[in-house]
Structure 1
Amino acid sequence: MTATLFTLTFALAAPFWALMILLPRWSWTARIIGSPLIVLPVLAIYAILVLAAAGDVLPAVLSPTLSGVRDLLGTADGAAAAWAHMIAFDLFVGRWAWLDSRERGVPALVMAPVLVLTILLGPLGLAAYLGVRTGWRRPAVVRLPEPQHLG
């Protein structure tokens, strides 16, 4: 079961990445990616894996040591749970970056490599986007004056 869940983890996230990278201007992409619930299937896999191995996971995270975490990640359950953890967070960060980039007007061609980097090496993709976003400021909101009531 662990191997199946491991394989399923990225398969459930991949369509969302494809939408953000390959179809960024499609109206359905904005509707789908707009929901933070897109990460729920991967989070469910993570929960299944962690709960099944709670006896091994809890000691490693409540009192972490390098050797304890290494030992946990050296198991199939630990590696699969860590993978689901990474995929869920990478997708959440990628979703945030994609939404934020649309608000700021960052071109899709600039975002595509940033999103690929986020898929492959999450924190480096986040760092790349934080660098990119400094070049694009949110457009100022123009406030119209309140209409005057005659009375």
Structure 2
Amino acid sequence: MAWETLFNLANGWAIIGWLALAFLPRDPRILALILYLGVALLCLVYTVALVAILAGGVDPVGPTGGDFSTLAGVMTLFDSKGGAVIGWTHYLAFDLFVGMWIARDADQKGFSRAAQLPFLLFTFFLGPVGLLGWLVIRDRRARAQAKTKAAGKAA
């Protein structure tokens, strides 16, 4: 399979997962589908492609190879179509997983879907920026909920 095709399939699959997360009901079956048919499938694609590249079976990364211990080694890994697709698939899988966590956490903390959407969009497009924003906002709600629970127990 061509790297461009795999890139397009991974992107499309991730977008389907994100759309389901943002707009479908969050019952356990839907979340399980997003987790196993979205995140896990992206993880599988990443794993198989990474092993194939590191074993030298496809898209070799040059005579010096690549590694994760130096910047030059990481740059070597990304200096091929296969390496770029693998790196991108890594982002897609982790961002969708983080988006699921944000959505479930926001539901538990009583945030409306409309309030969640900006954090999900930022996580989809900018990964850690969306997660950081959520961590800042959720902390306030979590502290307020903890105070309410403590006050209720004291009464």
TM bin, normalised by shorter chain, reads 0.7 to 0.9
Relative distance call for 1:82 and 1:27 in structure 2 (3 A) is closer
Q: Is 1:31–2:29 an aligned residue pair? A: yes
Structure 1, unmatched stretches of 5+, are: 144-151
Aligned to 1:51: 51
Name the counterpart of 1:8: 9
Deviations 1:12-53 (A, max 9, x none): 121221122234xx255x531256323111112112210210
Question: What RMSD in Å do the two structures reach over aligned CA positions?
Answer: 2.5
**Structure 2 SS opposite 1:105:** coil
**Partners of 2:49 and 2:19 in 1: how far apart?**
26
Distance in 1 (CA, whole Å) between partners of 2:43 and 2:26 is: 26
| 1:60 aligns with one of 64, 67, 86 | 67
* Paired-residue identity, %: 31
Query: Which residue among 125, 129, 132 is the counterpart of 1:124?
Result: 129
Report the CA distance shift for 1:94/1:117 in structure 2 as closer, same or farther (over 3 A).
same
Q: Distance in 2 between matches of 1:76 and 1:27?
A: 36
One-letter amino acid of the counterpart of residue 40, structure 1: A
TM-score normalised over the length of structure 2 = 0.77
Q: Contact (CA 8 Å) 1:2, 1:49: kept in 2 or not?
A: no
The Cα of 1:108 is off from its aligned counterpart by 1.2
* 1:53 aligned partner, one-letter code: I
Query: Which residue is equivalent to 2:105?
Result: 100
1:133 aligns with 2:138: yes
Note the alpha carbon deviations across 1:54-100, whole angstroms, 9 max, x for none.
Answer: 144x8412xx2112211211210110000010000001100011011
Residue 107 of structure 1 aligns with an amino acid whose one-letter code is S
Secondary structure of the residue aligned to 1:60 is: coil
Structure-2 separation of matches of 1:79 and 1:70: 10
Aligned to 1:146: none
Alignment-mate amino acid for residue 32 of structure 1: I
